[in-house]
Amino acid sequence: MPMDWDEWIKKRQKGAPRPSKPPENGGNGSQKPKIDDFIQKFKKPTKMPSLWYLVPIVIALWLVSGFFTVEPYERGLIQRFGKYSTSVEEGLRYHLPWPIESVTKVNFTQTRQFDVGGGNRGLDEATMLTNDENIVNVQFVVQYKVDNPVAYAFHIFDPDKAIRDAAISAMREVIGRNTIYGALTDKRAAIQEDTRETLQAMMVKYGTGLMVNNVELQDVHVPNEVIQAFKDVTSAREDSERFINESRGYRNNKLPEAEAKAYAMIAQAQAYKAERVNIAKGDSARFSALLAEYRKAPEVTRQRLILETMDNILPGAEKYLLTGHSGQSLLPLLGLNGPARLPVPAADYGKGE
């Protein structure tokens, strides 16, 4: 049971003897303990010291809190009551202390990047559908930086997440315009550039204040579940391409040869044509000349034509011209009046049998 301090003091005072005269000069007489004074001293309320001298210090510290430093690679965006007010460049700057004004610093020179297709959620991000309705996994990296600090800080709630989502959408759109073979082989550079342009157009439309520097494909492959079937299709496609290339090589070999023969035949035909035309023109001119001579001397011209015709008909035969009765003695030699026999050479005339 707790002891009552006041009750104990009263009992002590009643039982203590009272001296008839207080001791003098340090005598040994008894003295009433001054416990009551001690207790009353602690029962009195303590007077609080004045704090008005702290107000100027607090105000000075509040005003000094408005100083801030902007680095060379940053832009300081001052907001007044939460609304954008102005921008400041590098150096020691000042704004009215919070809550009147505040500052947001944006790094506008740093090249930022993120990859799509990696990590735990990479499979969902990377799975895309091509134009020829094939599934392909695409892993790529996007590099970007802040182009407009004000738009980056205040126009979009989370611009870094916005550009990531937009990059996935842009890549899906571009992959959907290409075949799986183009994405795996010779269309990679075109897909990267097309995706960068599409993503940049989306950033401008959304007003994110970001500029896309580069989009780079890291890995493009078909899912493991269909990789064997895809290999079979790829092998068949390669055989088809090989057959096509062989047929093209055969065509490229035979076509020039056929064209050369055609050109030779055309040249021969043209030469033959020119030859026959020239011959016909010569025959026509010769006939015209003979006609003129025939009109001048018909009989002579007729005999001449007969002789020339016989010479053309029998170009290699030995011919004799018989006129009047002078040729009658030569008929036996020619075999015209009896059995045909060869003529005797002139060198054998006068020789006996």
Alpha helices in the chain (DSSP H): 5-15, 35-43, 55-64, 122-126, 149-154, 159-175, 180-184, 188-206, 227-296, 298-313, 331-334
CATH topology of domain 112-222: Tetrahydropterin Synthase; Chain A (3.30.479)
Residues of the chain with CATH 3.30.479.30: 112-222
**Model-level pTM?**
0.52
Under-70 pLDDT residues of the chain: 1-6, 8-50, 119-123, 319-353
Q: Residue with structure tokens 């990377």?
A: 126
Distances (CA, A) of 338 to 1, 210, 225, 321, 335: 193, 125, 110, 19, 5
Structure confidence at residue 98 (pLDDT)? 86
Give per-residue pLDDT as tens, 318-345: 766 666 555 555 555 555 555 444 444 4
Structure confidence at residue 93 (pLDDT)? 83
Structure confidence at residue 54 (pLDDT)? 83
Structure confidence at residue 215 (pLDDT)? 93
Structure confidence at residue 348 (pLDDT)? 43
Structure confidence at residue 18 (pLDDT)? 53
Distances (CA, A) of 180 to 129, 166, 175, 285: 9, 22, 8, 76
Structure confidence at residue 5 (pLDDT)? 60
Structure confidence at residue 69 (pLDDT)? 86
Structure confidence at residue 48 (pLDDT)? 52
Structure confidence at residue 240 (pLDDT)? 86
Structure confidence at residue 169 (pLDDT)? 93
Structure confidence at residue 241 (pLDDT)? 86
Report the alpha-carbon distance of residue 73 to residue 75 in Å, rounded.
Answer: 7
